[in-house]
Structure 1
Amino acid sequence: MALFDLLGRRWAMGILWQLSRGPATFRALQAACESISPAILNSRLKDLREARLVVHEGEGYLLTDLGRELYQLLEPFGGWSLEWARTMAPEHTARWKAGKAQMKAHAAAGRSGAGLPKDR
């Protein structure tokens, strides 16, 4: 259950989703995760590195093989969670549509699945 503890920490899954798109610098991750503080980002990256899901190399942070494998397992939950949110909270339809468009763009770029909306 330690994995669920890690993934349940603020921004952990969002960082994994962002890195599923490819390597990113600290600043690029901070920009992609609009409301994340530098302290939280630094702490989460440390947690993810210690779990061997993320590594820091010359071009920035990237998923390890283990991190990519985990992302492949989690990726289907992105679409499922958007559908669940749409049915549970119809007032968030605009956010759901934006997330769905983001998933399509991600898939069109040659990757399976998509990232979460920025506020997830």
Structure 2
Amino acid sequence: MPLPIPGTRVRGSATGKPIMALLDLLGRTWGLGIIWNLSEGPATFRELQQRCEKISPTLLNTRLKELKALQLVELHKEGYQLSTLGTHLFEIVLPLGDWSKQWANHLSKEVLQ
């Protein structure tokens, strides 16, 4: 699957609208999960693999290559870490984590009734 680059054809958009390119990237298996786990700080490949619930090395390597090519992740001597763009993206996505907890709580109350 080609990189989801704004302005090129991506899943859901023949014209590659930037939001659709982003949603294509984040919708890929472990795309958002890697960003979320790197928000905890730098990690070596093996550390990141553990953080990501033992993701396969092949899939982790593929996603890291994509995230690096799209300038969201960087490799430093401490390991992989979010770039400035990646950190900014995480800050935008973070409130979804809080909302999802409220949603799960609401659903669990509804199901129990």
Q: State the Cα distance separating 1:30 from its structure 2 match.
A: 0.6
Within a 5 Å distance, the mapping from 1:86-97 to structure 2 comes to: 86-88=105-107, 90=108
Structure 2: gaps of 5 or more residues? 1-19
Q: State the Cα distance separating 1:24 from its structure 2 match.
A: 0.4
2:98 corresponds, among 79, 82, 107, to: 79
Q: State the Cα distance separating 1:48 from its structure 2 match.
A: 0.7
Determine which structure has the larger helix proportion and give its number: 1
1:47 corresponds, among 66, 69, 78, to: 66
Give CA deviations for 1:64-91 in whole Å, capped at 9, x if unaligned. 0000110110000001112223333x29
2:43 is the alignment partner of 1:24: yes
2:31 is the alignment partner of 1:12: yes
TM-score under structure 1 length normalisation: 0.70
Aligned position for 1:113? none
Structure whose alpha-carbon radius of gyration is higher: 2
Larger RCO of the pair (alpha carbons < 8 Å, separation 6+): 1
One-letter amino acid matched to 2:66: D
TM-score under structure 2 length normalisation: 0.74
Work out the percentage of aligned pairs sharing the same amino acid. Answer: 53
* Count of aligned residue pairs for this structure pair: 90
